[in-house]
Amino acid sequence: MPEADKEGKSYYVDVPQKGKLFFLKGSSELDWGMKNRLARIFNPRDGRTVMLAIDHGYFQGPTSGLERIDVSIMPLVPDADVVMCTRGILRTIVPPSVTKPVVIRASGGPSILKELSDEQIAMDMEDCIRLGVCATAIQVFIGGQFESRSVVNMTRLVDAGLRYGIPTMAVTAVGRELERNAKYFRLATRICAELGAHYVKTYYVEEGFDTVTAACPVPIVIAGGKKRPELDALKMAYNAIDQGAAGVDMGRNIFQSDSPVGMMKAVRAIVHGKEKPDKAYDLYQTIKNKKTGN
């Protein structure tokens, strides 16, 4: 029979149990599994994340820079916090020995040849569990032709994820006809959060982005959008973080750069290292020049 416990100092009877156990905006009332997955996406030290978005093929096929994910993207993974991709790429290209958290694209349907807002949920929660993902991602088309259905798709995915502790990232998709300004993104991000998204991906806007992050009760990460000059992309990432974003989910501005590894490290230096854009740009150039032998 094991020896009975002895009363003593190790009970710390005068020390109250720690009450606040979670760091992420709007997430303190979630269940343990949800929080644990979110804590793998957002670094608990600073509450931020660098997600590498490589899911573009789900509606536009072999996007420039993503033609051979095995060759050109896998070298970037060590400097990302999270890989955001489709289940097809995960199963065919990403080695299961990669232990980075995965956020999986769970919506789809139309290609670039059709109306993009005509999406459906394109993955069962059972498969998300099978793949061990940390969150799902789904497009929401506020103001788009199929706005209502895309919002309901998101709420269904949220409900399915809640059953198993898998968070949902809502992605505010912008149709060609919609103006990208703070007013629009306040509307779109807030709707996603009100209806249950655990965090929201949106676009940075030059004016009033701090009002977008302030009005959204869950964390916001920014997409990079179309490729722009490296310094401009780094300034955008810096400003977004400075104005309340909890990180980036960036694709083209990294993998379409002339030095994807350089950009990956430079973006990381901004998000986690509080580096200024000019210094991060120097880092990008140093890495680029090393590779080209300049």
Q: Does 55 bind ligand R5P (CB under 6 A)?
A: yes
Minimal distance in Å, beta carbon 194 to ligand R5P?
Answer: 22
Which residue stretch of 40-48, 244-252, 259-267, 273-281 sits at the interface with ligand R5P (rule: CB under 6 A)?
244-252
Given 101, 167, 219, 251, the residue binding ligand R5P (CB under 6 A): 251
Please give the full DSSP string across 157-185, using - where no structure is assigned: HHHHHHHHT--EEEEE---TTS--SHHHH
Spatial CA neighbour of 143 closest among 112, 197, 180: 180
| Site map 167..196 versus ligand R5P, x via CB under 6 A | ----x-------------------------
Name 291's Cβ contacts closer than 8 Å, sequence gap at least 6: 259, 261, 262
Cα-to-chain-centroid distance, residue 293: 33
Kindly tell me which of 108 and 165 has the beta carbon lying closer to ligand R5P.
Answer: 108
Instruction: Identify the H or E element spanning 201.
Output: strand 199-202
Region binding ligand R5P by CB under 6 A among candidate stretches 69-77, 221-229, 233-241, 269-277:
221-229
In whole angstroms, how close is the CB of 168 to ligand R5P at the nearest point? 14
The structure tokens listed for 51 are: 């997600």
* Rounded Cα distance, 133 and 263, in Å: 25
Q: What is the largest CA-CA distance in the chain?
A: 75
291 is catalytic: no
Q: Which stretch binds ligand R5P (CB under 6 A): 87-95, 248-256, 261-269, 281-289?
A: 248-256
Q: Which is nearer to ligand R5P, 160 or 263 (CB)?
A: 263
Among 249, 259, 268, 284, binds ligand R5P (CB under 6 A): 249
Structure tokens at 87: 């289940």
Contact 100, 80 (CB under 8 A): yes
Count of residues binding ligand R5P (CB under 6 A)? 13
With binding defined as CB under 6 A, does residue 234 bind ligand R5P?
Answer: no
Cβ atoms of 244 and 213 within 8 Å: the answer is yes
Q: Stretches 10-18, 211-219, 222-230, 266-274: which one binds ligand R5P (CB under 6 A)?
A: 222-230
46 burial (CB, 10 Å; 0-12 / 13-18 / 19+) is: middle
Neighbour count for residue 72 (Cβ, 10 Å): 14
State the minimum distance, in angstroms, from the CB of residue 203 to ligand R5P. Answer: 8
List beta partners, residue 121: 107
Q: Minimal distance in Å, beta carbon 103 to ligand R5P?
A: 9
Residue whose tokens read 């931020």: 48
| Contact between 56 and ligand R5P per CB under 6 A | yes
Name the token pair of 33.
């599994």
135 near ligand R5P (CB under 6 A): no
- Pick the catalytic residue: 6, 20, 114, 201? 201
Question: Among 223, 240, 261, 280, which residue sits at the site for ligand R5P (rule: CB under 6 A)?
Answer: 223
Residues with a catalytic annotation lie at 201
- Residues lying near ligand R5P in the complex (CB under 6 A): 53, 55-56, 84, 171, 223-225, 249-253
